[in-house]
Structure 1
Amino acid sequence: MLKDFRAFVSRGNVLDLAVAVIIGAAFGKIVTSLTDDIIMPIVGKLTGGLDFSGHFWRLGAVPADYRGSLTSYADLKKAGVPLIGYGEFATQVVNFLIVAFIIFLIVRAVSRAVATLEREKAEGPVIPAADSAEVILLREIRDELRGRAG
């Protein structure tokens, strides 16, 4: 069984997938920061200073022993109050769109690069065409004229 597991892990596609997951997790953090720290504040500013991540609808009662703010999405959620966090949802949609767009650009660039390589490979090395008789004759005339002028 250990031998089978080692063979499974040593396959190239499993290792590639592991690397992709690790890079994807790190990339996700970058996109989250981009959304939370740059894009959403701009959107909030354009909409009158609103912070979308804190927008929610409360669906249930607040526990009697709750001491936090009634306008804090994070505090109410932590206390177990049923909420619809449409602001947080909007933030996650923006995150998704950013990631999807960047992946689209990467896939498009790779596809173009692969197509270019395949086209160059299919065409083979470019061999210059032999000079025509007219070109050879014109070169001889040019060289003769240079010889007389010099």
Structure 2
Amino acid sequence: MLNEFRDFILKGNVLDLAVAVIIGAAFATITTSLTEDVIMPIVSAIFGAPDFSTMFLLLGSPPADYAGTMTDYAALKEAGVPMLGWGQFLTVVINFVILAFIIFMIVRYATRVMKKSEAEAEAVDTGPSEIDLLIEIRDSLKK
């Protein structure tokens, strides 16, 4: 059983998947930083809010023992106040769109490179195959 597990883990597809997950996680942090540190400050400047991810709409009142400010998103969320965190949601959606677009561009480029290398391989291999040559030799010997 351990040998089967070792063989399974050492297959190329599993290792490729593990590498892809690790690189994807690192890449996600880059796009999160791009969204939070570059794009969202620009969007926040347009809307006039210093931190767009803290934009929210209260749906209920805070508990009686809540002593914090009514504009602190994190404190209200921690206190369990029902609210609609639309700014944070919008930040996550923008982050997803950026990540999806970058992945699309990578896949598109990889597809073009693979098609180009396939076309080059076909262009180089325009002569007769070994089987064709052997058939031709056989037919010549028969004559």
Q: Highest CA radius of gyration, 1 or 2?
A: 1
TM-score (normalizing by structure 2): 0.82
CA distance in 1, matches of 2:48, 2:56: 17
Tell me the CA shift for residue 125 of structure 1.
6.7
CA distance in 2, matches of 1:9, 1:99: 28
Match of 2:61 in 1: 61
CA distance in 1, matches of 2:46, 2:5: 54
Match of 1:39 in 2: 39
Read off the aligned partner of 1:57 and give its amino acid letter: L
Tell me the CA shift for residue 47 of structure 1.
2.2
Match of 1:12 in 2: 12
Q: In the comparison of the two structures, how many residue pairs are matched?
A: 126
CA distance in 2, matches of 1:76, 1:47: 22
Please say which of residues 84-93 and 55-64 is displaced more in the overlay. 55-64
Match of 1:48 in 2: 48
- Alignment of structure 1 residues 74-113 onto 2, 5 Å: 74-113=74-113
CA distance in 1, matches of 2:124, 2:101: 35
Residue segments in structure 2 that go unaligned for 5+ positions in a row: 127-143
Cα deviation, 1:71-121, whole Å, max 9, x if unaligned, reads 111111111112211000110011001001100110011001001000000
- The percent identity for this pair of structures is 57
Cα deviation, 1:38-87, whole Å, max 9, x if unaligned, reads 10000111223453201111222211121222111111111111221100
User: RMSD of aligned C-alpha atoms?
Assistant: 1.5
TM-score (normalizing by structure 1): 0.78
- Alignment of structure 1 residues 23-34 onto 2, 5 Å: 23-34=23-34
Runs (4+) of structure 1 exceeding 6 A deviation are: none
Please say which of residues 45-54 and 80-89 is displaced more in the overlay. 45-54
Residue segments in structure 1 that go unaligned for 5+ positions in a row: 127-150
